[in-house]
Amino acid sequence: MTHKRQPLDAVTWIARNSIKPNNYNPNCVPPPELRLLKLSILQDGWTQPIVVHKGSKIIVDGEHRWTIAADPEVAALTDGKVPVVYVEGDVAHRMMSTIRHNRARGEHAVLPMAEIVKALLGGGTSKDDVMFLLQMEAEEVDRLAERAGQPDVVARDKPGFSHGWVPGR
């Protein structure tokens, strides 16, 4: 059985500077998440293409990946090229597509994240590696570990953690 042709069937590598961001994207990514995106591309490579409107060369989805692609370390991976897929449609369609892409990503819930941190730490990944590879602050790792029942990784001398807390009670 054949499938209807999809944009992903035709990933193309093009010069980063040949496309441009749209002027309507309401999505804002804070600096820590941008650093995480850069690390993700450096560690895992490009795993998602940038979605571009074919006629105008305007980015529909992936503006932050496009932004990070200007970083010299990231650019060096692919000689300044970025992976793209093309879509078509009028301005209204492109705007709605941008919003659909943004909203479809969801959010991370605390309890599942706590279980992931627990599994990583319990499996031998160091707290420093969790902090660096997930771009988390020490307190965030500590609180997630505590929430998942791993209080032994929680620093007792930091503000916000009780010195009277005893594991196992």
Tens digits of residue pLDDT in 80-122? 999 999 999 888 888 888 888 887 876 667 887 888 888 888 8
84 and 39 in a common domain: yes
Residue 166 lies in a domain: no
Residue 161 lies in a domain: no
Instruction: Answer positive or negative: Cα dihedral of 107, 64, 119, 147.
Output: negative
134 and 68 in a common domain: no
CATH number, domain containing residue 99: 3.90.1530.10
Residue 82 lies in a domain: yes
Token readout for 146 is 């505590």
- Tell me what pLDDT residue 152 has: 61
95 and 114 in a common domain: no
- Cα 49 to Cα 61: distance, rounded to the nearest angstrom: 9
User: Is 62 within 8 Å of 8 (Cβ atoms)?
Assistant: no
Distances (CA, A) of 35 to 125, 140, 158: 20, 16, 25
- Tell me what pLDDT residue 24 has: 85
- Tell me what pLDDT residue 1 has: 62
Residue 162 lies in a domain: no
- Cα 141 to Cα 32: distance, rounded to the nearest angstrom: 15
**Residue 73 host element (H or E):** helix 72-77
Residue 169 lies in a domain: no
- Tell me what pLDDT residue 107 has: 67
- Tell me what pLDDT residue 161 has: 43
86 and 37 in a common domain: yes
Beta strand ranges found along 16-137 (DSSP E): 50-53, 59-61, 81-87
User: Which amino acid type is present at position 63?
Assistant: E
- Tell me what pLDDT residue 97 has: 87
How many domains, the chain?
2
86 and 45 in a common domain: yes
Q: Domain containing 128: what range?
A: 110-153
- Tell me what pLDDT residue 123 has: 87
The model's pTM is 0.75
115 and 99 in a common domain: no
Residue 159 lies in a domain: no
- Cα 133 to Cα 122: distance, rounded to the nearest angstrom: 16
Residue 137 lies in a domain: yes
Residues of the chain where predicted confidence (pLDDT) is lower than 70: 1, 106-108, 150-169
Residue 165 lies in a domain: no
DSSP state of 166: -
- Tell me what pLDDT residue 113 has: 80
- Tell me what pLDDT residue 78 has: 97
- Tell me what pLDDT residue 168 has: 43
